[in-house]
Protein backbone atom coordinates (compact mmCIF):
# COMPACT_ATOMS: atom_id res chain seq x y z
CA UNK A 1 0.00 0.00 0.00
CA UNK A 2 2.74 2.47 0.92
CA UNK A 3 4.87 1.48 -2.10
CA UNK A 4 1.91 2.09 -4.40
CA UNK A 5 1.49 5.58 -2.93
CA UNK A 6 5.17 6.39 -3.46
CA UNK A 7 5.07 5.13 -7.07
CA UNK A 8 1.90 7.14 -7.73
CA UNK A 9 3.46 10.31 -6.28
CA UNK A 10 6.59 9.85 -8.40
CA UNK A 11 4.55 9.20 -11.54
CA UNK A 12 2.72 12.54 -11.27
CA UNK A 13 5.88 14.39 -10.26
CA UNK A 14 7.85 16.62 -12.62
CA UNK A 15 10.86 14.82 -14.20
CA UNK A 16 13.08 17.73 -13.19
CA UNK A 17 12.17 17.19 -9.52
CA UNK A 18 12.88 13.46 -9.80
CA UNK A 19 16.23 14.30 -11.40
CA UNK A 20 17.13 16.73 -8.64
CA UNK A 21 16.25 14.22 -5.93
CA UNK A 22 18.15 11.42 -7.66
CA UNK A 23 21.22 13.60 -8.20
CA UNK A 24 21.14 14.74 -4.58
CA UNK A 25 20.94 11.16 -3.27
CA UNK A 26 23.79 10.14 -5.57
CA UNK A 27 25.94 13.06 -4.48
CA UNK A 28 25.39 12.20 -0.82
CA UNK A 29 26.35 8.55 -1.42
CA UNK A 30 29.50 9.50 -3.34
CA UNK A 31 30.44 12.06 -0.69
CA UNK A 32 30.08 9.57 2.16
CA UNK A 33 31.56 6.47 0.50
CA UNK A 34 33.99 8.09 -1.95
CA UNK A 35 34.51 7.38 -5.62
CA UNK A 36 35.12 3.82 -6.79
CA UNK A 37 38.79 2.98 -7.34
CA UNK A 38 40.43 3.59 -10.69
CA UNK A 39 40.92 0.52 -12.88
CA UNK A 40 44.71 0.93 -12.73
CA UNK A 41 44.65 0.16 -9.03
CA UNK A 42 43.14 -3.24 -9.79
CA UNK A 43 45.76 -4.15 -12.41
CA UNK A 44 48.60 -5.05 -10.09
CA UNK A 45 49.90 -1.88 -8.48
CA UNK A 46 48.45 -2.90 -5.13
CA UNK A 47 48.43 -6.68 -5.36
CA UNK A 48 49.06 -7.15 -1.66
CA UNK A 49 45.84 -5.49 -0.55
CA UNK A 50 43.14 -7.93 0.47
CA UNK A 51 39.68 -6.82 -0.62
CA UNK A 52 37.26 -7.27 2.26
CA UNK A 53 33.48 -7.50 2.17
CA UNK A 54 33.26 -3.97 3.58
CA UNK A 55 35.42 -2.66 0.72
CA UNK A 56 33.21 -4.45 -1.82
CA UNK A 57 30.11 -2.98 -0.20
CA UNK A 58 31.57 0.53 -0.22
CA UNK A 59 32.50 0.18 -3.90
CA UNK A 60 28.98 -1.02 -4.70
CA UNK A 61 27.37 1.89 -2.84
CA UNK A 62 29.68 4.45 -4.45
CA UNK A 63 28.93 3.07 -7.92
CA UNK A 64 25.23 3.22 -7.07
CA UNK A 65 25.72 6.87 -6.15
CA UNK A 66 27.26 7.55 -9.56
CA UNK A 67 24.33 5.74 -11.16
CA UNK A 68 21.87 7.93 -9.22
CA UNK A 69 23.70 11.03 -10.47
CA UNK A 70 23.55 9.77 -14.07
CA UNK A 71 19.84 8.92 -13.78
CA UNK A 72 19.19 12.34 -12.27
CA UNK A 73 20.97 13.98 -15.20
CA UNK A 74 18.85 12.00 -17.68
CA UNK A 75 15.62 13.00 -15.90
CA UNK A 76 16.64 16.65 -15.85
CA UNK A 77 17.63 16.50 -19.50
CA UNK A 78 14.28 14.94 -20.42
CA UNK A 79 12.39 17.70 -18.62
CA UNK A 80 13.82 20.38 -20.91
CA UNK A 81 11.63 19.35 -23.82
CA UNK A 82 12.02 20.34 -27.44
CA UNK A 83 13.78 23.61 -28.18
CA UNK A 84 11.69 25.94 -30.36
6-27 pLDDT tens trace: 667 666 778 888 888 899 999 9
22-52 pLDDT tens trace: 999 999 999 998 877 665 455 555 556 677 7
CA 20 vs CA 7, 14, 84: distances in Å: 17, 10, 24
Average pLDDT over every residue of 49-56: 77
Q: Where exactly are the structural domains of the chain?
A: 15-78
What's the pTM value of the predicted model, to 2 decimals? 0.69
CA 69 vs CA 1, 20, 26, 57, 65: distances in Å: 28, 9, 5, 19, 6
Amino acid sequence: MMLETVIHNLSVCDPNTIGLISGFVGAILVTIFGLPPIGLLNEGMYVGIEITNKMKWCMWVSRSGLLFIAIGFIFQLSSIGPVP
